[in-house]
Amino acid sequence: MTQALAATAYPTQWKKPPFIESAAWRVALWLGAVLYLVLALGSLEVNWARLVEGLERGGRFVAAFVQPDFTSRWNDILAGFSESLTMTITSTALGIALSIPVAVGAARNLAPTPVYLACRGFIAVSRTLNEIIVAIFLVALFGFGPFAGFLTLTFATIGFMAKLLAEDIEEADAAPLEALRATGAGFLQRLDFAVFPQVMPRFIGLSLYRLDINFRESAVIGIVGAGGIGATLNTAMDRYEYDTAAAVILIIIAIVMAAEYLSGMLRARIQ
């Protein structure tokens, strides 16, 4: 016994256990990573002359952030933000309203299989398609302006909210549902009294979160013509009016931070 113990050479120094256990995998992953980096960095075409030229522009840009120009294009900025904010509110409201039936349809415990598959399919499509790509198409169909943006955000909101709400509904306690069924309650009554009270607090929190996301997205889809502050920003950049662009960006940051703070407070009160 003691001989066997003495025969095994124990390491005298402690070594940190590796993050990935299997040594073969570790080596393979490292080699793969190095190979990829060499290939990727090798195929990177950098125009150094343009970059040096750009640094001077970058300097002007930083200067613009220190001295943003809110006044000379104030009317355009105001119009852009009014479009973005109204787009955010209407699309969030309609998106949430429409996401409820879709979510009920996509909940395994409530919906019959064909409805379930249709709703899940819709959610998958809405979540896979990037907002920008949806916006490009809706602008082509509905013309330039915030209406196309409103439809884009509504479409994205439905997918987002319905997926999360459906998961919540599936996880809800089944006992109240059964109790209501025993009283002879109809489908809508069962939803209203057994399902919604259980998922409502989280649903309200998610809605506030989505309001936040929709505002941020509304600042982007303007770049492809769907209205809002993104269009103003794009125009300012095209005209090399960096100080106006800096003003727009600073206002976006301020609104997002304020919204995050407010929704955080509201969520803390609700939940």
Tokens of 55: 């640094």
Choose among 139, 271, 157, 134: nearest CA to 213.
Answer: 157
Whole-angstrom Cα distance, residue 129 to residue 37?
Answer: 29
Q: Within positions 25 to 44, which residues make up the interface with another protein, using CB under 8 A?
A: 36, 40-41, 43-44
Nearer to another protein, 217 or 243 (CB): 217
Residues 80, 95, 105, 146: which binds another protein (CB under 8 A)? 146
Tokens of 269: 């009160």
Interface with another protein includes 54 (CB under 8 A)? yes
Give the total of residues touching another protein (CB under 8 A).
60
Nearer to another protein, 111 or 177 (CB): 177
Longest dimension (CA), the chain: 89
Nearer to another protein, 59 or 101 (CB): 59
Q: Tell me how far, at minimum, the Cβ of 27 lies from another protein, in Å.
A: 17
Interface with another protein includes 105 (CB under 8 A)? no
Residues 118, 204, 208, 223: which binds another protein (CB under 8 A)? 223
Q: Tell me how far, at minimum, the Cβ of 220 lies from another protein, in Å.
A: 4
Residue 82 and residue 229 in contact, taking contact as beta carbons nearer than 8 Å: no
Q: Tell me how far, at minimum, the Cβ of 37 lies from another protein, in Å.
A: 8
Interface with another protein includes 253 (CB under 8 A)? yes
Q: Within positions 2 to 21, which residues make up the interface with another protein, using CB under 8 A?
A: 16, 19
Nearer to another protein, 115 or 249 (CB): 249
Tokens of 168: 């919540």
Residues 103, 107, 206, 224: which binds another protein (CB under 8 A)? 224
Interface with another protein includes 185 (CB under 8 A)? no
Burial class of residue 52 (count of CB atoms within 10 Å of its CB; 0-12, 13-18, 19+): exposed
Residues 27, 38, 51, 63: which binds another protein (CB under 8 A)? 51
Binding site for another protein (CB under 8 A): 16, 19, 36, 40-41, 43-47, 50-51, 53-55, 57-58, 61, 82-83, 85-87, 89-90, 93, 128-130, 132-133, 136-137, 140-143, 145-147, 150, 216-217, 219-220, 223-224, 230, 233-234, 237, 240, 242, 245, 249, 252-253, 256-257, 260
